[in-house]
A and B are shown apart, each in its own frame.
Chain A
Amino acid sequence: MSQPIRLKDHEKDARLVRSRVVVGAVAVVLLVCVLIVRLYYLQVIQYDYHSTLSENNRVHVQPIPPTRGLIFDRNGVIVADNRPSFSLSMTRERAGDWHQVLDAIVEVLQLTPDDRALFEKRMKQGRRPFEPVPILFELTEEQIARIAVNQFRLPGVEVVAQLVRHYPQGPHFAHSVGYVGRINEKELKTLDPVNYSGTHHIGKTGIERFYEPELHGQVGYEEVETNARGRVLRVLKRTDPVPGKDIVLSLDIKLQEAAEAALGGRRGAIVALDPRTGEVLAMVSQPSFDPNLFVTGISFKAYAELRDSIDRPLFNRVLRGLYPPGSTIKPAVAIAGLDTGVVTAGTRVFDPGYYQLPNYDHKYRNWNRTGDGWVDLDTAIMRSNDTYFYDLAHKMGIDRLANYMNRFGIGQKVALDMFEESPGLMPSREWKRATRRQAWFPGETLILGIGQGYMQATPLQLAQATALIANKGKWNRPHLAKTIEGLPPVDENPMEDIVLRDKSDWNKVTHGMEQVMQGARGTARKASIGAQYRIAGKSGTAQVVAIKQGEKYDRNKLQERHRDHALFVGFAPADDPKIVVSVMVENGESGSGVAAPVVRQVMDAWLLDEHGRLKPEYATPSVAQEPAQ
């Protein structure tokens, strides 16, 4: 029964498909015509153009590397520029037997087999066919002449002028600006192959690394016609590269030099910040090194010398040096104590020279073994009284303490634009359980109150914690770049400001820090003698080797490298802070005796004019009169 209907349908279906076959056939014919028209255009209309190109000549696309952005200090002094330099490059496809040509180069320039091995390695890093690979940099006039005379023996070899990074300030900014170096194989894998097709150098550390995308710019290219020997005959099409952005640093070269001078020849670190903005004014890590060595490739011997030096010049102490903050953390701990209500400004603690936990024998010593008697908050900061802070930390407990210290930036990356900053360490119950599989002991909280124990911070973090006190809790991430092509850097991940229940707590702690400098019994009063402005500061000592219970620190028994590190943090003018300085002197022993004068010198360099008077822009009515001694 269904047969006839099915057959009828079948007939209709067949017609439908047949009509679609016709449509398909028409489409095929039309599209083939499109192809033929395109080929006609290429092969007939544009024939002359293409055939001239191919007549013994070759079309080539050459990348034009962008000029790397310049770096200036805050006054416009150049810190990183690009210098024309001649390098020798070779194009493998044009050299014929390139191993033989390498032999010829080595012979002509009278180089060593080591150099030849290096050339061979560099040749293997070539990325595209027909790419000239630079194999030797910074050619001398004589080398250029030798190559010119022997050019006939060196097919595919050219002397190329290119811009190479140069750091005119030498070691001054090696740890902040960093340096560029040749792109290595690992970097090659992650780089954008197009944008870096003409670039041979890349930022390795510091600002050069952090702002690599901004500094590099966008590659340009030109389509050129070359003859069979690779000589460029004419440019067919050119797209200009977009040069990298210029960066103005917040660093001040004069302050940087003054800070280095203040440190003398000692190993150590200095950070100077403007607390109102987070701008880093000086960043010293001594000893330093000459970044220019790394640009065109440092010799293995020179590198090994830097790397293995006991003074560790390559080590960035400001960003990577981890030290127990010692007493420099006490102002922040005091803020935590006041804000949690554990203490008030009037709370007094009796100091017999040690502190004991109930039911424990262990005596936690004050640095002053004879004891300071009854101490309140102000005195505790001024005298750096350990007993008071043991008591405060014990009452507060580890959880609240860790929380406040984190908000002050301890255990956090604080910088906005610095490469490989260490986060430091603020221990907590969770941290100890996770890393040591142990419960938290109350005694560990006590020593955290005086900045010892597991706590570790970088000089930069100490500067930032101090800047927060100077700035009454307002967070500005420290940054090195003032502007990038005129625009300030943007903080994508801002920290939460520290808002206290009672704002006047900031003044209470600041007053204590002023007493450190200017008070009659202040631990660093010597460092402020003759100052034109009031300073708020705090000293600290970071132990290098542990001292046993009941034993005394005896400097004569310790090797020089095992002596304590001296720390000092401070800001000035105390009532309207314009500069925060944090200093760490390696094995300097005394925070107030060694580090504090360094802080003072840096502040003087920033706040005083050439006649030794306070610069008018930093003068405020309250510091017009002679500061009290």
Chain B
Amino acid sequence: MKSNFDRMLSSEDVMRRRATFLQRIHVDGPLLVLLLTLAAGSLFVLYSASGKDWDLLLKQASSFGIGLVSMFIIAQFEPRFMARWVPLAYVFGVILLVVVDVMGHNAMGATRWINIPGVIRFQPSEFMKIIMPATIAWYLAKRTLPPHLKHVVISLVMIGVPFILIVRQPDLGTALLILASGAFVLFMGGLKWRWIISVVAAAVPVAVAMWFFVMHDYQKQRVLTFLDPESDPLGTGWNIIQSKAAIGSGGVFGKGWLLGTQSHLDFLPESHTDFIIAVMGEEFGLVGICALLLIYMLLIGRGLVITAQAQTLFGKLLAGSLTMTFFVYVFVNIGMVSGLLPVVGVPLPFISYGGTSLVTLLSAFGVLMSVHTHRKWIAQA
């Protein structure tokens, strides 16, 4: 018994000695390098997209700083600690969403914010972006895998409640992302293919039946415009027509930094937020976007490696879900701006202007770092 304990101590000593400085402060080197590269690139693109607006750049840079600090703090918490507190955080988050719902409807207008003037102002739905997958991961990690039907149903209820509350805000884009983050945990947990396929197969006839028997003409029209924005060129389709022209005119190598024309002449109303990839496409061309996609893929690759190497089930499920959700952001945004997907308000991660999404994303990467850098100690437990 004693010798066993000694060996344990000594091996931990070995580990400690081998751990690099970065590991000791719970930061993952590859992820940090990639994130800093993206941040630098983002400031370049934003400078052009915002029409050389230094104030805006400064705000974005400071948001990035805040995000890095929050990432660093989150990375210090052990995954075990997170798993212990996540259920409480989930309940708290749902309560906040209900509060937003009630307040918003009393004020006769939709709102997404909790606002205590002078103290704090934030969106509970952002908070849920991390808490949601963590909650499902906590729940499934304690069960046998692949999950039984009962556990799947309970997970779906846990995903459904915040989803409906956020849809009611109304913020369909965020709600779908949160839905996806929860669903990815189930997927990582080995949800049977059979069930995945049957859900998809069941959705098709239901949608068809809704279309023919339930929906009014004006609702159909809205769905059609949503699916094909270019059929409504005076409304949302306008952005898409302009962003396609901007991207297309960039060609292979682009027109050069600050030399884009389409995106600078007020043609693109959201050129520095959701539609920023159009500016990149115009100024840096196919090569530029491919470089960006490469960085994203490296980030995602690193995330999947962390998932595979994680030593607790909770860590695996959470890291896998956060990584895949991150990819959904990238795919949905670029797909939307290039006219492949319907227009939903999803920013391009790390590139679009906006502090809230930056802090949330970096916090998520903080969770990944925590999962990865706490593994040696957990191995001894």
What secondary structure prevails in chain B residues at the interface with A? helix
A53-B245 in contact (CB<8A) = yes
Interface size class of A (residues with CB under 8 A): 35 or more
B331-A31 in contact (CB<8A) = yes
A219-B248 in contact (CB<8A) = no
B190-A39 in contact (CB<8A) = no
Nearest CB to that of A9 among chain B residues?
Answer: B144
B190 CB contact (under 8 Å) in A20, A29, A42, A56: A20
| Nearest Cβ on chain A to B131's Cβ, whole angstroms | 21
Residues of B near A129 (CB, < 8 A) are 266-267, 269
B290-A24 in contact (CB<8A) = no
Q: Which of A7-56 touch B at CB < 8 Å?
A: 9-10, 12-14, 16-21, 24-25, 28-29, 31-32, 34-36, 38-40, 42-44, 46-47, 49-51, 53-56
Q: Does B252 contact A (CB under 8 A)?
A: yes
Given A21-B307, A25-B304, A43-B247, A61-B234 contact (CB < 8 Å):
yes
Given A17-B320, A53-B245, A129-B266, A61-B233 contact (CB < 8 Å):
yes
Residues of A near B267 (CB, < 8 A) are 58, 129
Q: Does A601 contact B (CB under 8 A)?
A: no
Q: Does B261 contact A (CB under 8 A)?
A: yes
B317 CB contact (under 8 Å) in A17, A31, A47, A56: A17
Residues of B near A16 (CB, < 8 A) are 145-146, 189-190
B249 CB contact (under 8 Å) in A12, A40, A50: A50
Q: Does A213 contact B (CB under 8 A)?
A: no
A13-B145 in contact (CB<8A) = yes
Q: Which of A192-214 touch B at CB < 8 Å?
A: 193-194, 197
A35-B249 in contact (CB<8A) = no
Q: Does B44 contact A (CB under 8 A)?
A: no
Question: Complex: how many Å from CA A50 to CA B265?
Answer: 16
Q: Which of B298-320 touch A at CB < 8 Å?
A: 300-301, 304, 307-308, 313, 316-317, 320
Question: Complex: how many Å from CA A193 to CA B232?
Answer: 11
Nearest CB to that of A40 among chain B residues?
Answer: B286
Residues of B near A55 (CB, < 8 A) are 249
A194-B188 in contact (CB<8A) = no
Among A17, A25, A31, A55, residue most surrounded by chain B Cβ atoms (within 10 Å)? A17
Question: Complex: how many Å from CA A594 to CA B197?
Answer: 84
Q: How many A-B residue pairs have CB under 8 A?
A: 146
A42-B248 in contact (CB<8A) = yes
Residues of B near A223 (CB, < 8 A) are 233, 241
Question: Complex: how many Å from CA A29 to CA B294?
Answer: 10
Q: Does B370 contact A (CB under 8 A)?
A: no
Residues of A near B145 (CB, < 8 A) are 9, 12-13, 16-17
B304-A24 in contact (CB<8A) = yes
Residues of A near B297 (CB, < 8 A) are 28-29, 32
What secondary structure prevails in chain A residues at the interface with B? helix
Residues of A near B313 (CB, < 8 A) are 10, 13-14, 17
Q: Does B281 contact A (CB under 8 A)?
A: yes
Nearest CB to that of B146 among chain A residues?
Answer: A16
Nearest CB to that of B218 among chain A residues?
Answer: A192
| Nearest Cβ on chain B to A83's Cβ, whole angstroms | 26
Among B61-69, B163-171, B334-342, the stretch that binds chain A is: B334-342
Q: Does A522 contact B (CB under 8 A)?
A: no
B234-A59 in contact (CB<8A) = no
| Nearest Cβ on chain A to B334's Cβ, whole angstroms | 5
| Nearest Cβ on chain A to B134's Cβ, whole angstroms | 16
Question: Complex: how many Å from CA A26 to CA B21?
Answer: 33
Question: Complex: how many Å from CA A219 to CA B234?
Answer: 10
Q: Does A134 contact B (CB under 8 A)?
A: no
Q: Does A289 contact B (CB under 8 A)?
A: no
A194-B232 in contact (CB<8A) = yes
A197-B234 in contact (CB<8A) = yes
16 contacts between A and B (CB under 8 A): A17-B189, A17-B308, A17-B313, A17-B316, A28-B327, A32-B297, A32-B331, A34-B340, A38-B335, A38-B340, A44-B251, A46-B248, A47-B251, A54-B246, A59-B241, A128-B234
Name the 3 nearest CB pairs between A and B, nearest first.
Answer: A50-B248, A54-B249, A16-B190
Apart from A43-B247, A51-B248, A63-B234, what 5 extra A-B contacts exist at CB < 8 Å? A17-B188, A20-B189, A44-B251, A130-B266, A219-B234
Residues of chain A touching chain B, judged by Cβ–Cβ distance below 8 Å, are 9-10, 12-14, 16-21, 24-25, 28-29, 31-32, 34-36, 38-40, 42-44, 46-47, 49-51, 53-56, 58-59, 61, 63, 93, 128-130, 193-194, 197, 219, 221, 223
Residues of chain B touching chain A, judged by Cβ–Cβ distance below 8 Å, are 144-146, 187-190, 232-235, 237-238, 241-242, 244-252, 261-262, 265-267, 269, 281-282, 285-286, 289-290, 293, 296-297, 300-301, 304, 307-308, 313, 316-317, 320, 323-324, 327, 331, 334-335, 338-340
